[in-house]
Structure 1
């Protein structure tokens, strides 16, 4: 059984007349700037490299490097022995290791410059794993755990050793969660959750102590909010807002990338409206200088 047959996941493709646009924006004044554009490949979920020189994006089940200084083309990163991947991928704190989520529902570690992958979730075939965070000390991975083959099963927050091994679930309430990511100081795990509302799919932003404890709501809004990402210095955060009533985090919608200061999540510093959704901001895309971040839009001809 192949990965796609196993999980039902497929690499996304651009629609007729659609293109990928990779953007960078700053915490200061000024509009986002387009960095790279293509009508040949649907790219998703930029990570900023630790040396500040490139972005890492997935597309067609593979991982690509885009030079930020001379963004003329893409270079594929070898993922030896790893099945096609989805848009849940992160870098280790030292920048030496890539952790990726395969479309077979398992997690893998690969050298950041490319090479042979190592299966981290060996034997855990009864659940799907969707990676989103690495602890600042590099020892622990935070991911979403979903029972395999159970329609409507909710995602739960789970932690496991970065070297592989069994995971453990943290209690975050009854609602579906996604996007768990450590704060820079390692004290908290941020995520989006449907725990706070009875409205179907109404995800809101929250955090929980990394060692476990009460869940704290970060912001209350009328929009459906996903994927909170803290800047390396912890002063700012980005997240993605979907229209009220949205179920999940689908593709091809009018959405908004929001930038806030972490001392006041209710007052956006900037709001960047675009046509996107799935793939726009799934993983942390902050530059190491904490002043820039990246995201992706998918404009259609005529929009």
Structure 2
């Protein structure tokens, strides 16, 4: 694994020297394929429902990456130019919901915008709010939000309105995303001591722990479109606090059946924050996209 230069050890969030490798993992073959390398930071690929393109964020903007040409084009988002790595495509692939640090206070709020470009629509006036899921019926967004000093999972109608709190366990509850049937929301929570994967009914009931790792902090369980597999990002226990999701770490991508059971490591890489923050499964449920990193030496 690459050695982290001294300036980055002092500040793990300094990422001006990051180089990004956009990759695809094929579950059946167990292989990694590099799509493109970037001499700068990109994060959090989404795979389009039609299988033709990915989206990712970079320098506060959203980009569309064509899988045939392997060329990127910026999505016009007007005044929304501080997008972070929490963004999700609509079920029809025509719109994207983004989390943007608003001008008035710099805190993250959720907006929707046509993928062809347009004027964004504010969905969550309250902040901070970090988007992770869009219901398959297109009616609801799921997100992590801090309210009153607690980070919990919330949902809100896609056109805005009153938000609904789904979790209330102490500590961080994050990364909520719907399965393709809209039956369950998967998320990660630190309530057991280490960060683990959980799922619950879409109404917040039956909150169930799905991973029981003793040596890993597991983040962002992403369920495949066929609802059979879940891929997760895991940090080695002791590398960071359970509630931290840092860049510049030796991490693992791990896979399990959606019904639970054994979790197996399928890839090791240098990354963390930005690698697989949001669901990036291909519609064939056999491939997913992710980003690994290296640090440019000077």
Q: Structure 2 length normalisation: TM-score?
A: 0.88
| Cα displacement (A) at 1:139 | 0.6
> What displacement does 1:34 show?
0.6
Q: Equivalent residue of 2:56, what SS?
A: strand
CA contact (8 A) 1:208 1:216 kept: yes
1:12-51 equivalences in 2 (<5 Å): 14-16=15-17, 18-39=18-39, 41-51=40-50
In the TM superposition, what whole-angstrom CA distance separates every residue of 1:180-234 from its partner, at most 9, and x where no partner exists?
Answer: 011121111110001112xxxx210001111122310001002000000001110
1:265/1:61 CA distance change after superposition, 3 Å? farther
Match of 2:295? 300
TM-aligned CA deviation for residue 264 of structure 1: 3.8
Cα distance, 1:159 vs. partner? 0.7
In the TM superposition, residue 13 of structure 1 has moved relative to its aligned partner by 6.6
- 1:110 deviates by 0.3
- Match of 2:295, SS state, is coil
Moved more, 278-287 or 78-87: 78-87
Partners of 2:234 and 2:111 lie apart in 1 by 29
Residue 279 of structure 1 aligns to a residue whose secondary structure is: coil
Q: Is the 8 A contact 1:172 1:215 kept in 2?
A: no
Aligned with 1:193 (options 189, 195, 213): 189
Which residue of structure 2 aligns with residue 169 of structure 1?
A: 165
Residue-pair matches, total: 276
Deviation (angstroms), 1:265: 4.0
Q: Any gaps of 5 or more consecutive residues in structure 2?
A: 1-12, 103-107
CA deviation after TM superposition for structure 1 residue 81, in Å: 2.8
Residue 6 of structure 1 aligns with which residue?
Answer: none
Runs of 4+ with deviation above 6 angstroms: none
Match of 2:226 among 225, 229, 233: 233
The corresponding residue for 1:209 is: 201
Matched residues in 1 for 2:14 and 2:65: separation? Answer: 19
Q: Which runs of 5+ in 1 are unaligned?
A: 1-11
Separation (CA, whole Å) in 2 of partners of 1:30 and 1:233 = 18
- 2:64, 2:261 → 1: CA distance? 32
| Distance in 1 separating the partners of 2:204 and 2:28 | 35
Deviation of the 1:75 alpha carbon: 0.7
TM-score for both structures, normalised by structure 1? 0.86
Matches within 5 A, 1:83-162: 83-104=81-102, 105-122=108-125, 124=126, 127-147=127-147, 153-162=149-158
8 A Cα contact 1:13 1:60, kept in partner: no
- The whole-number CA distance in structure 1 between the counterparts of 2:153 and 2:170 is 11
1:278 is the counterpart of 2:273: yes
Checking the alignment, whether the CA contact within 8 Å between 2:30 and 2:266 is kept in structure 1 is: no
CA change 1:100–1:301 in 2 (3 A) is closer
Distance change in 2, residues 1:278/1:265 (3 Å): farther
The answer on whether the counterparts of 2:23 and 2:291 sit within 8 Å (CA) in structure 1 is yes
Report the RMSD for the aligned CA atoms in angstroms: 1.7
